[in-house]
Structure 1
Amino acid sequence: MSLGALAVLLLMGTLAGMINAAVGSGSLLTLPVLLALGVAPGTAVRTNTLGILFSTVGSVAGYRREIAAERAAHRIGPLLATTLVCSALGSCLLLVSPSEALDVVVPVLIVLALVLVVSQKRITRAIAALRERRSARAGVAEGAPGGAEGAREGGAEGARGGVYTSPALLASMGVASMYGGYFTAAQGILYLGVLGAFTGRAMTSINAMKNLLSLLVNATAVAVYLAAHWIWGAPIVWEAAAAIAVGALAGGYGGSHLAKRLPESAMRGVIVVVALVALVRQVL
């Protein structure tokens, strides 16, 4: 691979790292470059995932305090386990499925993520109302002190520390993680949409968890791809992966500090713009 091509990949890796730290989908900058250089789709995905892993390393380093606070305040073990298992399944699926499947899956999931992001507040209110009605019915049926009022207070108390453990959230994140292991591009947008919709928290608050989950997914995918490379020779373009990795590491760390300063409205706007660009690139 020429020095010019490696320089372009370095630049795109840096920009991708910054975008990944803020919203995700930075791979939609680096992956098309690999494809334009004549790298086969499956090889390009493996090469890109190996390089872009370092963007999540950088962004997690930048968000280390926020991640520590999330771990102290909430139970994240079930979410991490779900993400790990499902991303491994997605990575294995890539190794055995035709690359043409990406043309169908990616646009659908990007549209779904956009709907979740744009409708987050409405979805959150609907979920909260449903939980409140269930808690009220449970309180009346069990004769809870204070009736529905007591049931609501008890439900709120029981929910503390469990914001990431609802079955609906885990199921949705499982599907998103399978996609992330299969095709890393735009996974951050999916994670922000799902986490925001099911927790009701601001985008700026859940971005740290999004970056941690993205690191876990990418690391799992890389482990599967490296095993496939060493066992039966699944190709990886090492020099291209290295160029992306260097830029992505710097961009991820720098982008994490920029993302912390973005207000939620700006964060939501960036997500919509990036997702629309990603959708146009995939469709065209």
Structure 2
Amino acid sequence: MKTLVMLASAGLIGGAMNALAGGGSFVTLPALIAAGLPSVAANASSTAALFPGGVTSAWVYRGGLTTVDGLPFAPSLVVTLLGGLCGALLLVWTPTTLFDRVLPFLLLAATITLMLGPRLGSRVRSRVAVGRTTVLGVQFVLGTYGGYFGGGVGLMMLAAWSLFTAADIKALNPARMVMVTAANMVAVVCFALLGMVWWRQSVALGLGAMAGGYLGAHLGKRLPARLVRAVMLVIAITMTVLFFRRAFLTT
């Protein structure tokens, strides 16, 4: 019972983080490993557990799903689904050891892009013609990453989108939530069909994530864009440092 309560609490925090800024899997994945799950099963179970919270947040954000300049929403959703499928299959077929080493550098790149996003984005848009093919190609890669592991994928999406559009982070949050949830949905179906999800632990985590996703989405709608960006940067920096420590300093 103590383990289930711990998992529900981790789900509450992770769901709220995902709704507000992203990075909830950094809370839920260690919680599942602490509950005794092997790392690959914990990864799959974390994705399954956070999915209901993502759906809840996407529903709360549904009123903000307007067309964002520079982001073709419907085609981006399609390639995100395809990427999520590829990423999920990649997790099934390949070991995660190498990816554990690469992940901190991906998070570092996302953090730097978030820091420099508005300034760097305006310069990129003024000097380089970013076409539809480029946007969709980047989104496919992000969808693949989301299906494979997904840690910080929401932050990475916002970092990439800041190079394509001048819209602020708060305006992009609804689209981000839908894209992340779409990639997770495909991955969850694959993991469930292949028996990779530990359902008892996932249900406890998922119930907390649904509550956290609902509360976090309502909070995100009311907070100023500058504060949301600041929170995201704190989460991104913290995740990057901790993932470097996990990859290179722990034995």
- Give the TM-score normalised by the residue count of structure 2: 0.92
Listed as ranges, the gaps of 5+ residues in structure 2 are 246-251
Aligned positions of 1:1-284 closer than 5 A? 3-67=1-65, 69-70=66-67, 75-130=72-127, 166-229=132-195, 235-284=196-245
String of CA shifts for 1:11-35, please: whole Å, max 9, x gaps: 1101111110011110100100111
Paired residue type of 2:86: L
CA contact (8 A) 1:181 1:217 kept: yes
CA root-mean-square deviation:
1.8
Paired residue type of 1:93: L
Instruction: Select the structure of larger CA radius of gyration.
Output: 1
Deviation at 1:279, TM superposition (A): 1.6
Q: What residue number does 1:139 align with?
A: none
Percent identity between the aligned chains?
Answer: 29
Of 79-88 and 118-127, deviating more is: 118-127
Of 207-216 and 28-37, deviating more is: 28-37
- Give the TM-score normalised by the residue count of structure 1: 0.81
Deviation at 1:174, TM superposition (A): 1.6
Listed as ranges, the gaps of 5+ residues in structure 1 are 135-162, 230-234
Deviation at 1:83, TM superposition (A): 0.5
Relative to structure 1, the CA distance from residue 221 to residue 48 in structure 2 (aligned partners, 3 Å threshold; closer, same or farther) is same
String of CA shifts for 1:237-282, please: whole Å, max 9, x gaps: 1111001111111111111110112222212211111112112221
Paired residue type of 1:279: T
CA contact (8 A) 2:72 2:132 kept: no
CA contact (8 A) 1:70 1:209 kept: no
* Matched residues, number: 244
Deviation at 1:75, TM superposition (A): 4.1
CA contact (8 A) 2:56 2:210 kept: yes
> For the residues of structure 2 that align with 1:177 and 1:119, how far apart are their CA atoms?
23
Q: What residue number does 2:248 align with?
A: none
